[in-house]
C-alpha cells in the first residue's frame, strides 16, 4: 500500500511508514523472523545465531552441519520468497509462562528456555509464523507479503540478511564491504563471550543466579584493560611519527573514560599525554550555525573554528608552545585556561570530539601524523540466539541514567533528544569510522544487568500521555529479560562508571 510515494506497513495498530525509525525497525524485526522460519523449515536441526550489524543488515552464523554454499543461500532465499508470496500471517498469542517454557523445551530451544525462565511475568507474548515461534519483543507486520525487499549475502563464515535502505523500500544498499575492521571486533568480542561462557541474556542470568557475577565482571574488565594496553602499545610503536591521537565515537560510548584509561597506560609506557577536546574550539555564539529549526547546531563541523584549530595543531607539531582554551557554554565564547602546552620529546596529544576522525578538520597536517581510534558500544549481548539488542538502545539507556544523575534530565527528555543525536552521528561520525586505525568496543557483557534497576524507575515515570511513552515501554520490555546486578560491584575505573557515577576519574 502506497501513499504520497511512501510505503506503509500494516500492523496491529493500523499503519506505519517504512520511512520512519519505527517502521524500519518493524520491517527488520519481521524479516528476521521470516528468515528464522525459512531456516527452521529447511534445516530443522540447524541453529541460527544473530550477531553484529554489518552492511545495513544482520550478520548470522549457522551451526548444525549445514555448509554455507551458494546453494544454501539460494534455497533459503527461495523459501523466504515462497512464504512472502503466500502472504503468511504473523499470529500473536499470549500464553502462560509455564506453557512458553514447555514450548521452548519441545523445540529444543534451550536459549529461549533460559531467557523465559527468569522472567518476572506470569504471561508472555509469542509470535508464530507457520510452524516457527519467537518472543513478541516488538511489533511485526500483519503478514509476510509486505516483506518483499531483502538480500542474503555470504560473508566470511556466515551470511548477512540485508535490509532496504531507509527512505526507499525498493532499494537495497550497495554490497561493497567496508567493515572488515568492525567484523574483526565482533569476532574478538565473540571470543571473549566464549571464554566467559555467556552467549545470551539467559546465560548471564544463570551466572547472576549462581553467584558468579563478581568473577564475570572482573574478567570482562580485564578484557577491556588488555585491549587498552594493546592500543597503547600500538601508539608507542608509531611514536614519535604519530603524535596526534584522535578519538571519536557516538554519544554515550564511554570515550571520556577510555581516554583517561588510555592516558594511564601511555604513561606506563613512558609517554605523557594531554587531552584536547574539540568542544573547546567552537566558534563564538554569534558565529555558530543553526539548524533548520533555529537551534544552535553544535554538531556541525562548521561550528568549529577550524582556522584556529589548524593553526594551534600546526604550531604544536612545529615544536612551538600554544595556549590552551576552554569553551564557556554559558557565555558562548572561548577563554584561556592559563595553561601552556608544548610537545616535549616524550609527549603526545589526545584529541577528542565527534569530528576527530574527519580528515577535513586538519588538512594542513599529513595523514601519517595521526593515530585514529573509534570508540563505541559496538556489540551487545543477545536475549537469545535470534534476538539482538540494538547498540543504539544500549547507548540510550546509558544516556538516560547519566543525564538524570548528572544533569537532572528525565527519561522523557533524553528519549526526545536522542533522534537528533542519532541524526548527527549518522552525518558526522559513522561515515568516518572506516578511517580509524583501531576500534575500541566499550560494551560490557554485564551492563544491562547493572543499568536495569537504575533506569527502570526512570522509564516507569514516563506518562501514557507523553510522546516518549511507547519508546519507554519498549525499553522496559526487553530489560525484563535481565536479572539485576548491584552497581557497587562495578570497578571504579570501569567505562560504566562514566554513566552511573563514583568513577575513579575526574571528568
Structural domain spans, the chain: 2-177, 181-498
Which of 182, 128, 200, 159 minimizes the C-alpha distance to 387? 200
Torsion 26-30-31-36 (CA) sign: positive
CA atoms of 238 and 368, how far apart (whole Å): 10
The model's pTM:
0.91
**Cell representation of residue 205:** 542470568
Exposure string of 135-145, with b = 16+ CB inside 10 Å and e = fewer, is bbbbbbbbbbe
Q: Which residue has 500471517 as its cell numbers?
A: 89
How large is the C-alpha radius of gyration of the chain? Answer: 24
Round the average pLDDT of the chain to a whole number and report it.
92
Query: In 3D, which of 352, 347, 302 has the Cα closest to residue 507?
Result: 352
CA dihedral for 37, 41, 43, 47, sign (positive or negative): positive
For domain 181-498, is the CATH number 3.60.70.12?
no
List Cα–Cα distances, 323 to 279, 280, 356, in angstroms.
15, 12, 20
What is the mean pLDDT for each group of 10 consecutive residues in the chain (507 residues)? 49 71 87 96 92 91 86 97 97 94 93 92 91 88 93 94 84 75 91 95 96 97 98 98 96 96 98 95 93 87 96 95 93 94 96 94 95 92 90 96 96 95 91 95 97 98 96 93 97 98 93
Q: Output the CA–CA distances (angstroms, integers) from residue 258 to 262, 350, 505, in the order listed.
A: 6, 11, 11
Which tens digit of pLDDT belongs to each residue from 231-257? 999 999 999 999 999 999 999 999 999
Q: 307 burial class (0-12, 13-18, 19+ CB within 10 angstroms)?
A: exposed
CATH of 2-177, one of 3.30.980.10, 3.40.30.10, 3.55.40.20, 3.40.1260.10: 3.30.980.10
Amino acid at each position: 500500500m502506497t501513499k504520497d510515494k511512501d510505503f506503509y506497513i500494516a500492523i496491529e495498530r493500523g499503519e506505519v511508514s517504512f520511512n520512519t525509525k519505527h517502521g524500519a525497525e518493524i520491517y527488520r524485526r519481521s524479516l528476521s523472523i521470516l528468515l528464522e522460519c525459512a531456516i527452521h523449515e529447511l534445516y530443522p536441526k540447524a541453529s541460527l545465531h544473530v550477531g553484529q550489524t554489518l552492511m545495513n543488515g544482520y550478520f548470522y552464523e549457522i551451526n548444525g552441519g549445514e555448509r554455507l554454499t551458494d546453494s544454501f543461500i539460494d534455497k533459503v532465499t527461495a523459501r523466504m520468497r515462497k512464504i512472502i508470496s503466500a502472504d503468511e500471517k504473523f499470529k500473536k498469542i499470549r500464553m502462560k509462562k509455564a506453557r512458553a517454557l514447555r514450548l521452548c523445551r519441545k523445540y529444543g530451544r534451550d536459549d529461549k528456555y533460559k531467557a523465559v525462565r527468569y522472567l518476572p511475568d506470569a504471561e508472555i507474548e509469542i509470535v508464530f509464523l507457520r510452524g516457527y515461534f519467537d518472543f513478541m519483543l516488538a511489533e511485526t507486520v500483519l503478514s509476510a507479503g509486505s516483506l518483499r525487499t531483502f538480500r542474503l549475502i555470504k560473508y566470511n563464515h556466515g551470511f548477512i540478511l540485508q535490509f532496504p535502505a531507509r527512505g526507499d523500500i525498493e532499494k537495497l544498499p550497495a554490497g561493497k564491504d567496508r567493515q572488515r575492521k568492525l567484523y574483526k571486533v565482533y569476532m574478538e568480542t565473540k571470543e571473549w563471550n566464549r571464554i566467559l561462557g555467556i552467549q545470551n541474556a539467559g546465560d548471564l542470568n544463570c551466572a547472576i543466579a549462581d553467584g558468579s557475577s563478581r568473577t564475570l565482571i572482573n574478567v570482562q574488565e580485564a578484557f577491556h584493560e588488555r585491549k587498552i594496553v594493546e592500543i597503547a602499545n600500538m601508539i608507542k610503536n608509531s611514536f614519535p611519527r604519530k603524535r596526534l591521537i584522535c578519538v571519536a565515537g557516538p554519544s554515550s560510548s564511554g570515550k571520556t573514560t577510555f581516554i583517561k584509561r588510555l592516558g594511564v597506560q601511555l604513561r606506563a609506557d613512558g609517554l605523557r599525554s594531554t587531552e584536547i577536546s574539540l568542544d573547546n574550539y567552537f566558534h563564538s555564539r554569534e558565529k555558530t550555525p543553526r539548524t533548520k529549526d533555529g537551534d544552535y547546531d553544535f554538531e556541525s563541523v562548521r561550528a568549529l573554528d577550524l582556522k584556529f584549530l589548524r593553526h594551534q595543531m600546526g604550531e604544536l607539531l612545529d615544536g612551538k608552545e600554544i595556549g590552551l582554551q576552554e569553551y564557556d557554554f554559558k557565555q558562548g565564547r572561548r577563554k584561556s585556561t592559563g595553561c601552556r602546552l608544548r610537545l616535549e620529546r616524550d609527549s603526545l596529544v589526545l584529541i577528542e570530539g565527534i569530528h576527530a576522525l574527519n580528515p577535513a578538520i586538519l588538512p594542513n597536517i599529513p595523514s601519517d601524523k595521526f593515530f585514529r581510534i573509534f570508540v563505541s558500544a559496538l556489540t551487545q549481548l543477545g536475549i537469545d540466539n535470534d534476538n539482538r539488542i540494538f547498540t543504539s538502545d544500549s547507548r540510550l539507556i546509558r544516556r538516560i541514567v547519566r543525564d538524570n544523575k548528572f544533569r537532572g534530565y528525565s527519561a522523557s527528555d533524553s528519549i526526545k533528544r536522542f533522534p537528533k543525536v542519532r541524526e548527527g552521528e549518522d552525518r558526522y561520525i559513522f561515515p568516518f569510522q572506516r578511517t580509524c586505525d583501531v576500534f575500541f568496543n566499550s560494551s560490557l557483557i554485564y551492563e544491562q544487568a547493572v543499568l536495569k534497576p537504575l533506569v527502570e524507575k526512570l522509564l516507569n515515570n514516563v506518562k501514557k500521555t507523553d510522546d516518549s511513552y511507547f519508546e519507554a515501554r519498549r525499553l522496559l520490555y526487553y530489560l525484563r529479560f535481565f536479572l539485576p546486578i548491584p552497581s557497587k560491584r562495578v570497578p571504579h575505573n570501569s567505562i560504566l562508571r562514566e554513566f552511573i557515577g563514583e568513577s575513579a576519574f575526574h571528568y
